[in-house]
Amino acid sequence: MTPDKKVKILATLGPAIKGIDDIRQLVEAGVNLFRLNFSHGEHADHAQRYQWVREVERQLNYPIGILMDLQGPKLRVGRFAEGKVNLDRGQAFRLDLDATPGDARRVNLPHPEIIEALEPGMNLLLDDGRLRLRVTASHADAVETEVVAGGELSDRKGVNVPEAVLQLSPLTAKDRRDLAFGLDLGVDWVALSFVQRPEDIVEARALIQGRAYLMAKIEKPSAVQHLEEIARLCDAIMVARGDLGVEVPAENVPRIQKDIIRTCRQLGRPVVVATQMLESMRFSPAPTRAEVTDVANAVAEGTDAVMLSAETASGDYPLETVQMMSKIIRQVENGPDFQSQLDVSRPQAEATASDAISCAIRRISSILPVQVLVNYTESGSSSLRASRERPKAPILSLTPNLETARRLTLAWGIYSVVNERLHKVEEVTSTALEIAQAQGMAQRGDTVVITAGVPFGQPGSTNSLRIETLG
C-alpha cells in the first residue's frame, strides 16, 4: 500500500464493526492500528476482533498493530436509598466507608485510599466534574465536604481526585486478568490507565515481561508532573484528554497536549492524541468545524497518531469518520508551511551515530528530491530515531521481525515491510531499491536514501548512509 499520510490513525473496535470486510475498509481508508478497549466487552468479543484484524493483515500482506487498553481503577461513590439526590451549593456532605445506601447528607465512598489521601482544602470531582466538593475535615473512615458546585448525583457516579496521589496500583485484579488474556492473544501494545508516577510503569513492565510494548496514558495531574520520567520508562504516550480534561482546568489541556508532544518527540517516544477528536460523527456523517480544527492542530503540532474512540467502536459512521480523519491529515501535511514548522521544532540530537545519520537524512530529504528513506532495522529503534526527525520523505522500514513492523505502525511517517534478514553488505542497496519499487514508494529515476547498520542484527548499530537513484 502506497502511503499517502505520515500521521497514523488508531481506531477503536466495538459493536459497530461487524466483521473482516469492515476492518479491511477501515484499513484501506487509513487506519494503521486498532484498539481493543477492555473497559467494555467480553474476552470472546476481543478475541474475535483480534482474529479479524490478523486476517485482514494476512490478506493485505501489510502489518497492522493491535493495542489493548486496560480499564484501570474505577473510583465511584456507592448507592443512594432513592437512587439519586440533589446537592445544593454550600451544603455539607459526607463521604464514608459505611456501605449503607446514602441520602442528601452522606454516601458511601468504598475507596479507603481516597479517604486516606484527602486533606482539608482539597477538591473532589463527581460525575465527570459536573459536581465539585471541597474537603473541610478528614477522619480515618470519612471526609466532610462542602458542595462548591451542586447538582444531581446518582448511584455509582465516578470520582476524581486531582490534587492527591493515591496509594493505588494502576492494575486492578480485572486488569491483570485482561492483561494475561491479551498477551496470550498476541497484542502488540498495552495501554496503561491511571498512571500517577514512574513506579506504575515499572510495575506494568514486570507483568508484561517484554511480550508487548507499553503505552502510558497521561490522564492524571501527577502524571503530567512526572511526564519525562514516565516517558523514558515506557515505549509510547497517549494524551488521554477525557479524564485529563476533568482533573485539570479545560483551558490547560491544549498547553499540556503541546508539552507532551514536544517531550515525546525529544525523547523519541511515539505519542497519540486521543478522545473526542471527531465525536459528533458518532451520529452525523459530517464533523463540526471545531473538531476538524482540533485534529488539524494535533497533526500540525507533530503528533505521531490520532485516535478514534466511540466514533468507530459504536458510532453510526465509522468508515466515514476514518475517511474524514485521513482527509484532514493529508490536507495539513500538504500545506505549504507544514514541513517548515516541524523543522523549527525539531528535537536536540544525541551524540550518537544513529542520531547523526537521522539528522542527515532529514537535511538530505529537504535538499534533494528524495522519494523515500529506506531503513534496515531489527528492533525498530533506528526507524524511530529517523521518525523523530520528521523528515520530508516517508520512511520505508525493512525488518525481519513482524513484531517490530507491527510496533512501528504507531510511529510518524514509518511504513514497514517484513523481509528476510540480510547477511551481506552487497545486498543492502539492491534489496532496498527493489522493495521500494515493489511497494510503489519509488519508481525509475527517483532518488532513494538508504540507511543500515553493520554488523547486521545488532540493535542501535545504524552507521551507514547511501544516496541512490532507482535505475
For 369, the grid coordinates are 528530491
Q: Which residues contact 415 (CB under 8 A, 6 or more apart)?
A: 1, 3, 394, 395, 396, 397, 439, 441
The catalytic residues are 35, 76, 217, 275
State whether residue 440 is helix, strand or coil: coil
What are the distances in angstroms from CA 382 to CA 352, 357, 368? 11, 9, 22
CA gap 422, 429 in Å, rounded: 11
What are the distances in angstroms from CA 54 to CA 63, 313, 326? 9, 18, 22
Matching residue, cell 520528521: 390
> Is 241 within 8 Å of 128 (Cβ atoms)?
no
Q: Is residue 165 classed exposed, middle or buried when 0-12, 13-18 and 19+ CB atoms within 10 A define those classes?
A: middle
Matching residue, cell 473532589: 124
> Does the CA dihedral 303-181-60-282 come out positive or negative?
negative
> Which is nearest to 29 in space by CA: 327, 407, 309?
327
Q: Can the peptide bond before residue 63 be classed as cis, meaning omega within 30 degrees of 0?
A: no
Q: First vs last Cα of the chain: how many Å apart?
A: 22
- How many C-beta atoms surround the C-beta of residue 443 within 10 A? 10
CA gap 397, 380 in Å, rounded: 8
Say if strands 305-308 and 370-376 run parallel, antiparallel, or are unpaired.
Answer: unpaired
- Describe the chain by its helix, strand, coil percentages, rounded to 5: 40, 25, 35
Q: Across-strand partners of 123? A: 134
Q: Which residues contact 195 (CB under 8 A, 6 or more apart)?
A: 170, 201, 216, 217, 218, 219, 220, 223, 230
Q: Which residues contact 332 (CB under 8 A, 6 or more apart)?
A: 296, 299, 300, 338
> Is 333 within 8 Å of 341 (Cβ atoms)?
no
